């Protein structure tokens, strides 16, 4: 019979901590991390079998053991204090366990209150009923069961088995075969690279312009899938991955959820590895055999574990936090690691702002000549959301909390929270694409430096795009769905064939699944399995049927917009040419760059509050981090704002650097698919978010001021309304 909690700690109390910790913490984590769609989490963390075993031991045993140790240490000095600490731990674990349940019933503070009441009742029942405590003792076996199920899951088991290092002794040189370089950018719609003539905007994106001058650009290239895992899988197997997997399972059933050799034994890497030295950085799969030189670039165990622990903690906070409170947590959508943000490396002349990781520097270091032909493969996680880089590569805080997978589907609905949010996000994307272009340029420089650029086969593409188009007049129409499909499915595809030195533009109906058979023909390799792709060295039928998923299976000719309206809207908002013009998307771009002294302004009693105003007090314009947005809220400005929604001008150090429209909620609080409510000002304030160029800031203190733009009449000069800063 158990001892009552009122008389001291219950018998088997340590097992109770183990059981409750498993239910509250370990099992929810294992359920999310073991999901088939989440296998890239461990791939991106470069987790080895040792990493995962240590994580399981830490979550299932070490963490609850630390709690028990604290209780035991306190008990050495006071039984009463140890009993109180124990009850606090029990209450806390019950509370954490009830949070996800409470979130289904209520949100925000209401969820916290509901979960607290439920945890209090559960703790009271636990302390008073012997049978309940006995049941909890039996539940302690869940720690072993949940850990075992997680380790045996199709997601984790392949990682525990390990891919192993590649035995390079089996590689036989084929001197006639050229080196092959494949670069896949993530979430890059073709429309982002184009100017008004449907040509590569070489002024705004000189890296891509340089590539286009010596390669074949397939202007109508399309991906096969709107999700990274599906798009990459299809690219690497040369066909519809769903069809490939069905055939594989018909012949040999597989249970692996990770994209590895068990469920894709025939792929781009396996096709080449007999005669090619394969260097691959792939985020979503483990298809490439690990090259010793690539393995040597992995962070040490301590660094990997530290990042894994931090990211797992952030992930768990998202699991248990009510929806309304997740806005204060770091964004995890659209990324698999570094949830607290990438770390900056020491600046060098070549990597002015350190490159912020992204594996590009590692990839460049591996590019070299060899007596054995080499295949270099890199999947770059830019310009994918979250938007945290300016065009120089300096870091800034991401202000968007949108799930981008939602925004790649051709729904025919305006799924961004508002038109302002969609345009701000597209602006951030285009600027982050500027950094992506810089990275491409550095790779091209390295290829040229080591002498393989001319004779190598170079392929540059993207896994999929994303749609930013907002048009209220097209809401719910097939026209809007066509525009969205074009942004999602049409991707850049450049192929520089060995020896090619002139530009070619092809409008053939090609897809990213054509990369594999094209590589096979150039490398003299044999494709021993059925594929859907066709070699781009031959003739591509004009009536070729192309299939893509977004999310359902569709024929591309039925869904692509022939009028290129997404491009027209992009040009209307952001122009073409100099990347600085991306900052001129506001409602009154003619004000940008004008000193305040040259613009008429009248005083008012309306006020504004800047969010995070301390960021402007000590700025290093040449540092690795730099503010990008000016955000805040206007109060009592409704009478002054004759135009609805109101418009603001942002001045930094006496010069207007950006203009924007107000919203009824802060952009950082909006989510995809959740429309704004009512007119601006309904929440008691008008919120503004305006992006300003990096050149706006001076070293040290900066003076940021906000002006209301008075109603503009045709032919009249713009008048500003001077607002007072609160505090």
List Cα–Cα distances, 217 to 223, 461, 513, in angstroms.
Answer: 15, 10, 16
The pLDDT confidence band at residue 33, using thresholds 50, 70 and 90, is: very high
Name which of 171-175, 472-476, 487-491 the model is least confident about.
171-175
**Does residue 672 have a pLDDT over 70?**
no
pLDDT at residue 36 in the model:
81
What is the pLDDT at residue 9? Answer: 83
What pLDDT does residue 485 have?
A: 92
Confidence of residue 681 (pLDDT cuts 50, 70, 90): very low
Please give the average per-residue pLDDT across 91-109, as a whole number. 89
Q: What per-residue confidence (pLDDT) applies to 713?
A: 66
pLDDT for the residue numbered 253: 65
Share of the chain above pLDDT 70, in %: 91
For 251-307, the pLDDT digits (tens) are 666 667 778 888 888 999 999 988 899 999 988 888 888 888 888 888 888 988 999
- Whether the pLDDT of residue 175 is over 70: the answer is no
pLDDT given at position 552: 84
Give the pLDDT score at 255. Answer: 65
Q: What is the mean pLDDT of the chain?
A: 88
Q: Give the DSSP letter string of 233-268.
A: HHHHHTS-HHHHHHHHHHHS-----SEETTT--SSH
pLDDT band with cut points at 50, 70 and 90 for residue 653 = very high
Q: How many whole angstroms separate alpha carbon 108 and alpha carbon 410?
A: 32
Indicate the domain borders of the chain: 5-161, 177-283+336-574, 586-725
The residues, ordered by sequence, that sit 6+ positions from 674 with a Cβ below 8 Å of its Cβ are 417
Asked if residue 180 has pLDDT above 90, the reply is: yes
Region 74-102 average pLDDT: 92
Backbone angles phi, psi at 651, to 5 degrees: -110, 135
Given a cut of 60, whether residue 373 has pLDDT beyond it is yes
Task: Give me 57's structure tokens.
Answer: 């031991």
Chain Cα centroid distance, residue 120: 39
Three-state SS at 152: helix
The burial class, CB within 10 Å (0-12 / 13-18 / 19+), for 450 is middle
Contact 619, 626 (CB under 8 A): yes
Whether 2 shows a pLDDT value over 70: the answer reads no
Spatial CB neighbours of 152, under 8 Å, sequence gap ≥ 6: none
Residue 6: band (very low, low, confident or very high) from pLDDT cuts 50, 70, 90: very low
Instruction: Name the DSSP letter for residue 185.
Output: E
Task: Give 360-418 as a DSSP string.
Answer: HHHHHHH----SS-EEEEEEEEEEPSS--B-TTS-B-----B--GGGGGS--SS--SS-
pLDDT value at 679 more than 70: no
Q: What pLDDT score was predicted for residue 636?
A: 82
Closest residue by Cα to residue 284 from 338, 240, 234, 222: 234
- Segment (H or E) for 482: helix 478-489
Average pLDDT over every residue of 542-552 = 88
Superfamily of domain 177-283+336-574: Alkaline Phosphatase, subunit A (3.40.720.10)
Residue 1: predicted pLDDT: 34
Rounded to an integer, the average pLDDT of 423-434 is 97
Q: Which residues, in sequence order, are CB contacts of 281 under 8 Å at separation 6+?
A: 294, 359, 362, 363, 377, 378, 379
Instruction: Summarize the confidence of residues 215-220 as an average pLDDT.
Output: 96
Average pLDDT over residues 565-574: 96
Number of separate helices (H) and strands (E) present in the chain: 21, 18
- Count of residues in the chain: 727
Give 101-148 pLDDT, tens digit per residue: 888 888 778 888 999 999 999 999 999 999 999 999 999 999 999 999
How would you classify residue 362: left for phi > 0, otherwise alpha for psi between -120 and 50, otherwise beta?
alpha
Average pLDDT over residues 397-418: 86
Predicted pLDDT at 555? 87
* 454-484 pLDDT, tens digit each: 999 999 999 999 999 999 999 989 899 999 9
Structure confidence by residue, pLDDT tens digits, 315-371 = 999 888 887 777 778 888 878 888 887 776 666 666 677 555 568 888 888 888 887
- Report the DSSP beta bridge partners of residue 619: 700
């Amino acid at each position: 019979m158990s001892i009552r909690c009122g008389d001291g700690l219950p018998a088997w109390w340590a097992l109770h901590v183990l059981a409750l910790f498993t239910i509250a913490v370990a099992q929810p984590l294992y359920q999310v991390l073991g999901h088939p769609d989440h296998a890239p989490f461990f791939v991106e963390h470069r987790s080895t079998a040792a990493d995962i075993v240590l994580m399981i031991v830490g979550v299932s045993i070490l963490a609850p053991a630390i709690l028990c140790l604290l209780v035991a240490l306190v008990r050495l000095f006071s039984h009463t204090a140890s009993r109180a600490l124990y009850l606090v731990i029990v209450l806390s674990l019950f509370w954490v366990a009830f949070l996800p349940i409470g979130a289904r019933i209520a949100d925000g503070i209401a969820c916290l209150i509901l979960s607290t009441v439920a945890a209090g009742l559960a703790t009271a029942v636990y302390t008073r009923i012997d049978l309940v405590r006995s049941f909890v003792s039996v539940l302690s076996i869940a720690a072993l069961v949940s850990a075992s199920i997680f380790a045996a899951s199709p997601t984790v088991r392949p990682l525990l088995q390990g891919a192993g290092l590649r035995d390079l002794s089996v590689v036989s040189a084929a001197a006639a075969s050229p080196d092959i370089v494949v670069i896949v950018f993530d979430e890059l719609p073709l429309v982002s690279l184009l100017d008004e003539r449907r040509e590569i905007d070489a002024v705004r994106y000189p890296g891509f312009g340089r590539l286009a001058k010596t390669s074949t650009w397939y202007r109508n290239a399309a991906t096969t899938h709107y999700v990274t895992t599906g798009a990459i899988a299809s690219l690497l197997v040369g066909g519809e991955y769903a069809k490939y997997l069905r055939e594989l399972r018909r012949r040999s059933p597989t249970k692996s959820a990770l994209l590895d050799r068990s469920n894709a034994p025939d792929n781009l890497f396996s096709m080449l590895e007999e005669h090619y030295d394969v260097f691959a950085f792939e985020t979503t799969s483990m298809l490439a055999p690990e090259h010793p030189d690539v393995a040597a670039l992995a962070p040490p165990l301590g660094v990997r574990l530290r990042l894994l622990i931090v990211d797992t903690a952030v992930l768990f906070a998202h699991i248990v936090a009510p929806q309304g409170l997740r806005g204060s947590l770091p964004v995890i959508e659209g990324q698999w690691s570094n949830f607290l943000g990438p770390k900056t490396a020491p600046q060098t002349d070549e990597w002015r702002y350190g490159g912020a990781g992204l594996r590009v520097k590692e990839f460049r270091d591996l590019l070299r000549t060899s007596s054995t032909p080499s295949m270099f493969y890199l999947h770059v996680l830019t310009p994918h959301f979250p938007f945290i880089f300016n065009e120089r590569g300096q870091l800034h805080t991401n202000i968007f909390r949108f799930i981008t997978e939602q925004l790649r589907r051709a729904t025919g609905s305006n799924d961004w929270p508002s038109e302002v949010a969609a345009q701000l996000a597209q602006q951030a994307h285009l600027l982050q694409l500027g950094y992506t272009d810089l990275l491409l340029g550095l790779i091209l420089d390295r290829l040229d430096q080591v002498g393989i650029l001319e004779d190598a086969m170079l392929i540059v593409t993207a896994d999929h795009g994303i749609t930013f188009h907002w048009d209220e007049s097209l809401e719910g129409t097939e026209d809007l769905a066509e525009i969205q499909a074009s942004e999602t499915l049409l991707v850049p595809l450049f192929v520089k064939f060995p020896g090619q030195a002139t530009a070619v533009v092809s409008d053939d109906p090609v897809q990213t699944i054509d990369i594999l058979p094209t590589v096979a023909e150039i490398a003299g390799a044999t494709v021993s399995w059925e594929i859907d792709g066709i070699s781009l060295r031959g003739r591509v039928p004009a009536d070729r049927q192309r299939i893509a998923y977004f999310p359902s299976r569709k024929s591309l000719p039925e869904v692509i917009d022939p009028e290129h309206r997404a491009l027209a809207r992009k040009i209307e908002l952001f122009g073409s040419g100099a990347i600085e013009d991306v900052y001129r998307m506001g409602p009154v771009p003619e004000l940008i760059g004008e000193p305040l002294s040259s613009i008429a302004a009248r005083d008012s009693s309306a006020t504004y509050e800047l969010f995070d105003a301390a960021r402007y007090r000590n700025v290093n314009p040449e540092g690795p981090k730099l503010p990008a947005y000016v955000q805040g809220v206007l109060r009592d400005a409704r009478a002054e704002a004759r135009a609805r929604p109101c418009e603001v001008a942002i001045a930094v150090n006496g010069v207007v650097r950006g203009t924007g429209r107000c919203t009824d909620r802060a952009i950082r609080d909006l989510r995809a698919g959740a429309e704004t409510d009512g007119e601006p000002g309904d929440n008691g304030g008008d919120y503004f978010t305006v992006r300003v160029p990096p050149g706006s800031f001076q070293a040290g203190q900066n003076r940021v001021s906000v002006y209301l733009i008075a109603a503009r009449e045709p032919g009249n000069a713009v008048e500003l309304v001077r607002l007072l800063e609160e505090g």
